[in-house]
Each structure stands twice: as C-alpha cells, then as structure tokens.
Amino acid sequence: MTRKKYQGEINDKERSKQKLINAVGKILKTKGYTGLTATNIAKAAGLSRRLISTYFDSVDDLVETYVRNKDYWTAASGKVEDMLKDHDKRDTKKMIDEILQNQLEYFYNNTEMQKIILWEISEKSQIMYDACEERERLGSKVFALADKELEGKDIRAVSAILVAAIYYMVLHAKSTDTLFCEIDINQPEGMQRIKNAISSILQKS
C-alpha cells in the first residue's frame, strides 16, 4: 500500500488560503455581500476563523483578494495586455468590440461577478473603490490608443453606455427571467442580437 506523501506546511497553507478565497465566492452566491462575515466564510471553507487573520490582514483583505481574482477587467488584464501588444494587427474599435463581447459572456456566466457588481452599485466600500480604480487604469490604456485612431469620436462615452447596458441586461435577465425590449438574452438568439448590436454601435460610432 502506497503511503500518502506529506505535502508540508507551505502547501497546507496555500490550500487553506485558497479554501478561504473560494469560500468568499460561495457566500456571495448564497448570501450576497452582506453575508461576508468571518464566521460565514470560515464555515463555508470548513476552517477555523483564526486562519483568516493568520493568512490575511483582515476579512476585507481576504475579500479584496477574491475580488481582484474575479473582477472581469482585472482577471482579463493579461489578455488585454496581449491585445495592446498586438495592436498593430487590429483596429481599436475591433479590439474594444472583442473586449466587450468577452465581458458580456463572462458576466452572464459568472454568478459571483454579478453579486460583485450589485455590491459595487449598492454600497460604498474601499474594496469596490479599488476594484473600480484598477478597471479604470486598464481601460485608460485602451482609450489612449483610441485617441490616436479615432480623433473626434467619444469612444469613452459609447463604451460607458455599452458596459452599463451589459451589466443591467444581464442582472435583469438573471433576476426577473423576463423579456427586455422584447429580447430574452437567456436564449441564444437573444444573446446574439445583443452581441450584434454591440458590434454595430461601435462600428457606427
């Protein structure tokens, strides 16, 4: 019989930290941001509350770690950075179109991210402020390229309207399961209509 290899203190620590981070997502799904207490997180992780302060500065630090991992713009930053490096092979409008299409897919399929956005617009917090600032820093790099190509075009305002529409339509569809302007994005054909509209608006802007 093969003996189980001891993984060591470092691996145990990393596993426990990841369990706590994952537990934040579980709580967001089931209780929303108001349920993010040390007791609830520790219980969902199956670990002692003491480990939160051992591995993280505070509950807020733990939640911030989770948010940074899950936030769309932060999570996608590597891909956006690749797009920026490869910018000579594509025009800026197409790049923004691809970013927004990816955002729509990610946001629609990610329950935790939906809860994070609800938190962001419902209550002021340093965690959400920092996440927004990170998003703005990344977006600024894309808009800087747009300024060079699209002089006289307010691509920032157009993008703002499209991002807001993505957030609202997804949250509306997930919470009410009803039509919006006679479109159901819970159905493939409805989702495709919205994707087509995003591309059309950007190309005409």
Q: What is the pLDDT of residues 49-82, one digit of tens each?
A: 999 999 998 999 999 888 887 766 666 555 666 7
Report pLDDT for 140. 87
Q: Where are the domains of the chain?
A: 9-62, 71-204
Report pLDDT for 24. 94
Residue with tokens 């369990």: 19
Q: How far apart are CA 97 and CA 27, in angstroms?
A: 33
Evaluate whether 61 touches 13 at the Cβ level (below 8 Å). Answer: no
Q: How far apart are CA 69 and CA 181, in angstroms?
A: 34
Q: How far apart are CA 162 and CA 195, in angstroms?
A: 11
Decide if domain 9-62 falls under CATH 1.10.10.60: yes
Q: Mean pLDDT for the chain?
A: 85
Q: Which of 58, 57, 64, 65 lies closest to 18 in space, CA to CA?
A: 65
Report pLDDT for 6. 45
Positions in the chain short of pLDDT 50: 1, 5-6
Report pLDDT for 77. 54
Question: Treating both helix axes as pointing N-terminal to C-terminal, what angle do 111-122 and 59-70 enclose, rounded to 10 degrees?
Answer: 120
